[in-house]
Chain A
């Protein structure tokens, strides 16, 4: 795009060169380099490595190009501390931005939590749901064009949190209207599965939660007889 804009202007009338020699050569070089990186962009350290220009020239060029709105600064989630530049006509790839769920290099946790709650509220009114049904619901509720893949990612998150379970339809009972083999979701039943008397028997005692269990010995510095977690646990019960 940017290439076609320059050739048009040279046919119409003579204008002062945009990039006269000298310091402006540096700008041109840097702009070409940044454009070549397209959706990935480039950081200052890499600009220096590839152009071999002096720090001052790079700094001035970047400032000038930004002022002219030819480049923009974006956040690279892999390296948030260093400035990362991209030509204005490109959008950061998922590799740089982190993906659909990131905003300015940070995970949009509040939004993700809201989507989870919305899905769970809907699912609690149904015995079993498919991804398609949840997608239909969310399309009516969110203000952007949410894809089926994005809905799948949210449902997978809720599965990983163990609030719902993923099952396959066998066409019988609750699944009679769902084709056999289709992946469905249902709310995980059994409150306290994680800390119930059997699965949680180890996790619910101090040793189960202790990050220093490997250092604990019967008569050592960390021992059951002098353990502060035991003291707290036995006192808390009262």
Chain B
């Protein structure tokens, strides 16, 4: 489930980009979960035509995914196929990152404006290029397209409406095999199954076929799928209006958010390590991540493969600032990065956790908030509990953090009230019963709490930007020649304010993206 302010923020973004009606439909799906068309109409109280149009826009913009499920008929009726819609929260938030994504693409491949809108077929990309750039050289466009594909900045769109068969009966015995296998094979939610069913096969995801050939088995997936022609007979007529625009036999392509986010995260990770440790550690980390390459499957690799010290050295000296590093300095950096060592005979290899939690990013973000909001003593208290990872009693906290006992209890209470800490009461047994309070950081609930606050802050920044624009609209609308004296000062001031707010939003968005990694 998306957090309350996450929903508000996503709805606000949709409103900014696609209007209030789309925002209403999107918010309805985010709050209430997967719904049918009829349920959306009832919930939003919008007309059917409006809802259909909104869904078409949202699907095209990769913010909503449709899928078909079988519903049992009532009173002896035959089962029906029903189309449901789910909001894709992460893709909505990615809308804010479009400028960063375009920057990455242009840094890697030069100026390229091919993929800026939702989802397009290659033919439409060529048509758009003709309209915008005035060029009708198909080969140039195809070459650009292939470069984007090879760099994995674009991918095949998921199937517009995969069918989810009812869970197979042979899945039930797996639960009886034992607690261990039941733990490993956690049942997927309907939404997870829908996304898995919609996703193209990994081998097809970045494969371009001849674009004049009809696509075969485009929507094959791990779930069983009935043929599209047969399904069309079962789909409700109203959903045909939503999906018809996308239900064509041509391959559609879209931005591959996964790759772009991976690159942004890698860049941010290296930069964070440079700040937290030093430049050399950043260089070594960059070398390791380059050597490790991209995880082959959708599953994020928890740590890199073991790399030999020689391979790491060869990569480090190619980096800017890395030429002067020797084996000893690399070993120091590897130790500082918390790499795992594997030494067998003459071989010396290292592996590193790719997850940002390896670099205690989560802790650093939360600790910085605690420091600013509650002060240095609270900061020490929080860090102690965070490192301990278990319940600690009030006096123990006070002693270890060198905080006066009376102040410690006030700080602990404040942090607990704001959901940063978990508290329990313990009664000691014996002749004389005493009541003790014990405290602990619960990382899961804390992560949810802080992430929600970050979405709240991002929404506030956007609202403030809009407010400043509105406040200064009279000045902003004036022609250049009239901006003299006081008006010129005010104009410049408005510009500075906008830069501060927008750069803060960009930094916060990057922090959200990294924080969300947990």
Contact = CB atoms under 8 A, between A and B. Distances in A.
Interface of A: 77-78, 98-99, 101, 106-107, 112, 153, 156-157, 160-162, 167, 170, 172-175, 189-190, 192-205, 207-211, 213-214, 216, 218, 223-225, 227, 230, 234, 237-238
Given A173-B328, A192-B275, A208-B372, A201 B507 contact: yes
A225 B405 CA distance: 40
B268 A208 contact: no
- Of A175, A209, A224, most buried by chain B (CB within 10 Å of CB) is A224
A207 B456 contact: yes
29 contacts: A77-B405, A153-B400, A157-B401, A157-B402, A160-B379, A162-B367, A167-B335, A172-B331, A174-B332, A190-B276, A193-B276, A194-B371, A198-B361, A198-B511, A198-B514, A201-B504, A202-B453, A203-B368, A204-B504, A205-B457, A205-B508, A207-B453, A209-B369, A213-B456, A216-B456, A218-B463, A224-B467, A225-B464, A238-B493
B371 A196 contact: no
Nearest to B471: A225
A19 B69 CA distance: 94
A205 to B, nearest CB: 5
Contact of B460 (A196, A203, A209, A216): A216
A198 B454 CA distance: 13
Which 5 interchain pairs have the tightest Cβ spacing?
A207-B457, A224-B460, A203-B368, A201-B507, A201-B511
Contacts of B374: 211
Given A172-B328, A207-B460, 12 more contacts: A98-B405, A99-B399, A106-B404, A172-B335, A199-B368, A201-B507, A202-B508, A203-B371, A207-B453, A208-B372, A218-B8, A224-B461
B514 A156 contact: no
B287 interface: no
A234 B465 CA distance: 12
B384 A194 contact: no
B500 A214 contact: no
A157 B364 CA distance: 17
B278 interface: yes
Interface in B256-305: 268, 271-272, 274-278
- Contact residue range for chain B? 35 or more
Interface of B: 8, 268, 271-272, 274-278, 328-329, 331-332, 335-336, 341, 361, 364-365, 367-369, 371-374, 376, 379-380, 383-384, 399-405, 418, 450, 453-454, 456-457, 459-461, 463-464, 467, 493, 496-497, 500-501, 504, 507-508, 510-511, 514
Given A208-B373, A225-B463, A107 B332 contact: no
A211 B368 CA distance: 14
Contacts of B402: 101, 107, 112, 153, 157
Given A157-B402, A173-B328, A237-B496, A194 B368 contact: yes
A170 B334 CA distance: 11
A213 B453 contact: yes
Contacts of A209: 369, 372-373
Nearest to B402: A157
Contact of B373 (A98, A173, A211): A211
Contact of A160 (B277, B341, B401, B500): B401
Nearest to A226: B467
A218 B466 CA distance: 12
A208 B368 CA distance: 9
Contacts of B501: 234
A201 B454 CA distance: 10
Contacts of B380: 157, 160-161
A234 B496 CA distance: 9
Contact of B365 (A106, A199, A210): A199
A107 B493 contact: no
A223 B459 CA distance: 11
A234 B497 contact: yes
A202 B369 contact: yes
A112 B331 CA distance: 36
Contacts of A216: 456, 460
Contact of B364 (A153, A194, A205, A218): A194
Given A190-B277, A190-B278, A208-B373, A198 B271 contact: yes
Contacts of A194: 364, 367-368, 371
A216 B452 CA distance: 13
